[in-house]
A and B are shown apart, each in its own frame.
Chain A
């Protein structure tokens, strides 16, 4: 059975793809939205720590599974290893309708103006492909606002003097602090810092017909049982489907783009839920499959016009893979701090996001999401035993008396950190898999050193009797904040897409996920991915309504 031709195909129903599908279908385009996973429900894995998105030891509650998916990771010594989605090195992004927005911690950060102008602000960084974005904060401001109101954010930016200017308030009031945050707030204020409630994609009051959050401990890494967390799965995707113009095809794996004899990209080839190969043609193709899967799809789409993959004429597809250099500190206290008010993270400072002496960029610092018992069993001061009597005693004594202050350091893009497709290894559909290689830029260690010392000082001021810092290694970054692999740019020789996410050399292929990020900000990236979704979606819909058919 042949599929009817549609106006647009969107590959990936996550933070970016969900938004684009909504923008296009409400503008009247017929859309097919592909998702390799399925709808997920809280009841599938409820409170199970060992399958949660933070500790995927027994598998990924939100997909993908270890049976059909794999990747190849190249080690520092050039050795290769096959890894599975439940391994950390896989750099997994959830495979379900809504993707990571189902189980994320839901921090709703806008990047700052400097985050779009890193090279202009800090100059060239030796060995890094640091660059300005081709769009500014002002270009994206209304997209952020749309994301905040259509998907739903609770916060109060008036308390953050470093926040980029905004035209409209958040739609919901901020969340109240838990005990830990209240304690940190006064310590931070004593230090002259500027703490404020973290903006969250989570209902602080009933919003969009869904209830207010009840503050469960199992939030970050889990689906919400009461639907108070705002993702694309319970906002824009249902809105897209309700237009009648959008068809969501779950459990369908897109393997490559279809390129006709003239070099025009006419659609996608995919495996349906019975693993039968099918084709879906469309005028416009939007790839929003994550910063690892999007380059894989482009690189797996070759023809005589695109011998090394779509958009890859100058070998930039898959380059500059970056995540966040997470760093911070732990502190132990004499009395109970833990009050079991979820999700844990409630307060942040943006004092160290930019203009730190000697540092390029920086990052926010926030108190951390609740660390459940298994995760906590791996948290020990340096030199402390990881098993035995003392370990057990620590587990018992300090679960309620430890505080973590943590933040993401903006990484320096590095050309040789990259996504390729492996020449030999294939997934269960026979599609060549992602091959990850590279390492962090040495400059990142300066940022993490700086930020972790700030975190430690805050904990000391708050009264911790023992503190220790944690620093990321120098190995390949990616993880759930993966970005940068199809960067936007004005120059086709040093970027993959234009300022609207259109892949250079093609009139009708767009990217709409964190692959577009030129730099990844010192913030959790979800809201920026959504904002870019609005930008790409708005652009395509606007052009379409002007009669442009992207030929």
Chain B
């Protein structure tokens, strides 16, 4: 149904109710999700941000967290990556669980070197059985890695890479300077 073109009677009643109700409610209404996220909790976002900063660390150019990896993943999990939600849930919980057991700390609290070596173990698939709370690790790592790259190097419209920062880093013009053919009129 196209809700944008005509004001149906039902819409009108909805509007009238909301319109008056909103006068008193609006000032107190809270955002539905923390920091405008659709799927991820604050804890999830903190963990993913820490992972993103290892996959694409900050240097003279922004790291993964700053360059929108978390907001990209959040937005895609509400869209085309809905089908990966379960894997994310399991994978993130397994990471936290495994880190707590192994280091008595959450992943976010580990040192950079500890984080890197943990991720390298995930990548290699060596974290298994008793070490890894959740059944798989290298496949989840590959998912995190490729989604972080998509966020960092893809178009800003998907939630990551604000202002095409990565294009600037790579020396790629955006928007490209490209003219049209010259026609003699």
Contact = CB atoms under 8 A, between A and B. Distances in A.
Interface of A: 47-50, 57-59, 66, 86, 206, 211-212, 214-217, 226, 340, 372-374, 376-378, 386-389, 391-393, 395-396, 399-400
Contacts of A400: 170-171
Contacts of A217: 176
Given A50-B154, A373-B166, A373-B172, A388 B80 contact: no
B78 to A, nearest CB: 12
B150 A214 contact: no
B56 A392 contact: yes
B145 interface: yes
B153 A47 contact: no
B178 A214 contact: yes
Nearest to A392: B56
B173 interface: yes
Contacts of B176: 216-217, 340
Interface string B87-114: 0000000000000000000000000000
Interface of B: 54-57, 59, 61, 76, 79-80, 116, 119, 123, 145-146, 148-150, 152-155, 157-158, 166-167, 169-173, 176, 178-181
Contact of B169 (A50, A59, A206, A396): A396
Given A58-B150, A399-B171, 19 more contacts: A48-B155, A48-B157, A49-B155, A57-B146, A59-B80, A214-B180, A214-B181, A216-B176, A340-B176, A373-B166, A374-B149, A376-B153, A377-B153, A387-B145, A387-B148, A391-B56, A395-B166, A396-B171, A399-B170
Contact of A389 (B59, B153, B157): B59
28 contacts: A48-B154, A48-B157, A49-B153, A50-B158, A57-B146, A58-B79, A58-B150, A58-B158, A214-B181, A217-B176, A372-B153, A373-B154, A373-B172, A374-B150, A374-B153, A374-B154, A378-B149, A386-B145, A387-B54, A387-B123, A388-B57, A395-B153, A395-B166, A395-B170, A396-B61, A396-B169, A396-B170, A399-B171
Contacts of B148: 387
A400 B167 CA distance: 12
A387 B55 contact: yes
A50, A215, A376, A391: which has the most chain B beta carbons within 10 Å? A50
Nearest to B142: A386
Contact of B76 (A58, A206, A216, A374): A58
A400 B145 CA distance: 23
Contacts of B166: 373, 395
A389 B180 contact: no
Contacts of A386: 145
Contacts of A372: 153
B181 A50 contact: no
A388 B170 contact: no
Given A48-B155, A50-B158, A211 B181 contact: yes
A325 B169 CA distance: 34
Contacts of B123: 387
A340 B173 contact: yes
A102 to B, nearest CB: 20
A49 B156 CA distance: 11
Nearest to A377: B149
Contacts of A58: 76, 79-80, 150, 158
Contacts of B119: 387
Nearest to A59: B80
A233 B149 CA distance: 34
A392 B54 CA distance: 11
Nearest to A86: B80
Closest 4 CB pairs of A and B: A373-B153, A374-B153, A377-B149, A387-B55
Nearest to B164: A373
A386 B123 CA distance: 10
A391 B116 CA distance: 14
A86, A206, A214, A396: which has the most chain B beta carbons within 10 Å? A396
A399 B172 CA distance: 9
A28 to B, nearest CB: 38
Contacts of B61: 392, 396
Contact of A392 (B59, B172, B181): B59
